[in-house]
Amino acid sequence: MNETLPTATAPALRDILMPGMEECAQPLEGLLYLAEWSEDLVMLTNAQGDIIYTNDAVERVTGFSREEVLGSRARVWGYELDSAQQEAIWVRVTTERKQHQATVRNKHKDGRVYDAEVRVVPLVGANGSVKHCLVMERNVSDARQLERAKREFIALASHNLKTPLASMRWYAEMLLDGDAGSLKQDQREYIEEVLQGAKRMNDLIHTWLSITSIDLGTYTCEEKRVAVETVVERTVEELAARAQSMQVTVTHTPPVSPCVIIADEEVLHTIVHALLKNAVKYNRVGGSVSIELKQCAVGDECGGRVFTSEQVLLAVHDTGIGVPIDEQGMVFQQFFRGSNVEQQQSQGAGLGLFYARELARLCGGTMWFSSSEEGSDFYLALPTPNKKTRS
Amino acid sequence: MARALQIKLQREGFSATTVFNGAAALEMVSKESYDLIMCDLIMPKMDGFHVLEGLRAQGSTTPIMIMTNLSQEEDRQKALDMGACDFLVKSDTPIAEIIARVRKLLD
């Protein structure tokens, strides 16, 4: 944007500098001019640490007026630090000419304590010594409070929604174990239904809370080197009984070389589980699922895409009922269930693929698919360790 | 659900006592010794992290198993860093597995 800045502001800077410091205005005029537009507190000190300039934000952030602040010693690095600690920071900035950056607790004029991000930058003169220090401070209390509120929301929702389910689950398991006496066959079946319902509800709540957590930016991952092959094998084993009950054959082509990525193993497991579970669940009786895992180089073509960086590719091919062509654009949307699926399967919330793709994005990966009445092919591409980028 | 666990533990041959807030737990542990403490994270009056802190401050070396419905990795890590010897998500764990973990810890 080519906007002409008002000319009245720059000369006025000379008037807001501490008396006797007017000569500073010339070389620093541009910098201080910008500071006047800043929402954050910006101050300039002399080499001794006396504040010779501050912008308008000082009153909003600290409660002190410009007049009260000018000439005083900068103590923006936290009221909790004693004078010796403050002096040590000052010496490091002015003598070693190193920037100081920290999140501290400061005190407002009215006594309120607030969290602040502070940066102190030494400005070195022509002779190599520190001539001024630029001090910037941002009040981050609101941002931190919001962050805490988000985390508390997830924690309380998780606790309050899952605790009754855990209780149902445990009592149902105790009844099935015969802890309250033996059960008749139909009583056992009913309690099995209660137990399965509680487990399904628990999974749904877990998925919903995880999606909310991703949305709020509070989802945490523990990243490390993961062999994708291991996760695929584990998931195939977990789904073996389900596949067998539908007479679906699952085949797996191991990669030529190990496929390693940097990711949270449980997150990766959730993604792979969602893809393989869908391939089995929405298959035909007697159908098949084939899993292909490989390392793709730049220029390789797979699943209709040409790779522009090295990626690990997981391809899941199934002979299932497919996604109707006019609904394919909605496959990764929340609560989407294919119209052909809804006629056959009563269970499912339509969150699995949406959740899996959100998690894949967290891992820096991408997910796509193609589908026809003969089946679907789902692809998951994840960056190799040295190529990882967040999308 | 503490009652469900207490019944199950007693049926499996353990002696189990329950309290329903963190402050009461600290008070109990200061008066009597236990082989294992099973503690939630979200509780009235004092949460599980403060209980962990308080127990260690009292010098208690009793193993502590955290049972919670908070499943974020950072909660697990924080509890383990603060001295919990086990961490499980209640709604994901069959009660039989909890008993098996208790036996393992007390063996």
What is the number of structural domains in chain B? 1
| Residue B57, H or E segment | helix B48-57
User: Is residue A131 domain-resident?
Assistant: yes
Does position B18 have pLDDT exceeding 80, yes or no? yes
Residue A178 forms contact with B (CB below 8 Å): no
Residue B106 forms contact with A (CB below 8 Å): no
Q: Mean of the per-residue pLDDT values for chain B?
A: 92
Taking CA atoms, A327 is separated from A316, A324, A331, A367, in Å, by 20, 5, 7, 17
Angle, helix A25-35 to helix A9-16, in steps of 10 degrees: 110
Out of A159, A171, A219, the one facing B70 most closely (by C-beta) is A159
User: Is residue A2 domain-resident?
Assistant: no
User: Is residue A4 domain-resident?
Assistant: no
Q: Mean pLDDT for each consecutive 10-residue tract of chain A (391 residues)? A: 36 52 62 81 88 88 88 71 80 87 86 88 83 89 83 83 92 95 94 91 86 82 88 93 92 87 90 94 92 91 88 93 87 83 71 90 90 91 70 38
The answer to whether residues A236 and A129 belong to one domain is no
Pairwise CA distance, residues A74 & A69, whole Å:
9
The answer to whether residues A240 and A371 belong to one domain is yes
pLDDT at A270: 92
pLDDT at A21: 57
CA angle A87, A24, A101 (to 5 degrees): 35
Q: Which of A167, A200, A216 is the last residue of a domain?
A: A216
pLDDT at A244: 92
User: Is residue A1 domain-resident?
Assistant: no
Q: Which of residues 34-93 of B touch A (CB under 8 A)?
A: 41-42, 68-75, 77, 90-92
What's A98's domain CATH number?
A: 3.30.450.20
The answer to whether residues A148 and A16 belong to one domain is no
Are the C-beta atoms of residues A228 and A261 closer than 8 Å to each other?
yes
pLDDT at A18: 56
Instruction: Tell me which residue range forms the domain holding A163.
Output: 144-216
Instruction: Tell me which residue range forms the domain holding B71.
Output: 2-106
Nearest CA-CA partner of A326 in A317, A338, A315, A308: A338
Calculated CA dihedral for residues A206, B91, A162, B27, nearest 10 degrees: -130
* Residue type (1 letter), A374: E
Q: Which of A194, A216, A238 is the last residue of a domain?
A: A216
User: Is residue A383 domain-resident?
Assistant: yes
- ipTM field: 0.85
* Residue type (1 letter), A284: R
In the structure, what pLDDT confidence band is assigned to residue B17 with cuts at 50, 70 and 90? very high
Pairwise CA distance, residues A53 & A43, whole Å:
5
**Chain B residue closest in CA terms to A168:** B1
What is the number of structural domains in chain A? 3
Asked if A213 lies within 8 A of B72 by C-beta distance, the reply is yes
Are the C-beta atoms of residues A43 and A76 closer than 8 Å to each other?
yes
pLDDT at A389: 46
* pTM of the model as a whole: 0.63
Asked if A179 lies within 8 A of B4 by C-beta distance, the reply is no
The answer to whether residues A294 and A365 belong to one domain is yes
The answer to whether residues A211 and A349 belong to one domain is no
Q: Which residues contact A42 (CB under 8 A, 6 or more apart)?
A: A32, A35, A54, A55, A57, A134, A135, A136
